[in-house]
Amino acid sequence: MSAADSSSKKTEALVLGGGCFWCTDAAYKLLPGVKGVTCGYAGGKEANPTYEQICNHQTGHAEVIRIEFDPAQTTLDKVLDFFWEVHNPTQVGGQGNDHGPQYRSIILYANAEQKVAAEKSLAEAQKTFTKPITTEIVPLTKFWPAEDYHQDYFAKNPYQGYCQVVIAPKIKKLKDSPAVTK
């Protein structure tokens, strides 16, 4: 394997929360250069949280996704820019009809480069929103993968009620996004 071949296999990861992780999981799978998305929990205090604990507001975690992307195909900036399209970062206390701190808008950075990029992206995005963006930008201390049944939920359950009413229309709209069609 040549050096060029090995560098193209390298991926980077970013952890984001923009409401229900079933929605953000499905959305980020549309973005060119994304190699994998894992639903999980981050931003809380308890070790190894469960979905039930998250829903009962016992741990402080948010529903998040860990996005693995190939930097040769997409950039950290593009991954962050898409974040502002995927959800409403001005809504406090949830997303759409999903209410609670587990659905908050959050970017969890793993290093200084991600922190700077997130802050810059937020500042640019704020220019396009009339209300203040409420997204938290905080250090990632630990990512906990969600239970298996949450992974690839929309792909596995496209006819489930929530998927039909909430996720499918969002995905249909995002498929026309310049970030996805380029």
Active site residues: 20
Give me the sign of the Cα torsion angle 137, 83, 143, 70: negative
| Length of the chain (residues) | 182
Extended strands (E) in the chain:
12-18, 34-42, 62-69, 94-95, 98-99, 105-109, 136-139, 144-145
3-state helix, strand, coil in the chain (%, to 5): 40, 20, 40
Two structure tokens written together for 139: 């250090």
Give the span between the Cα atoms of 45 and 61, in whole angstroms.
7
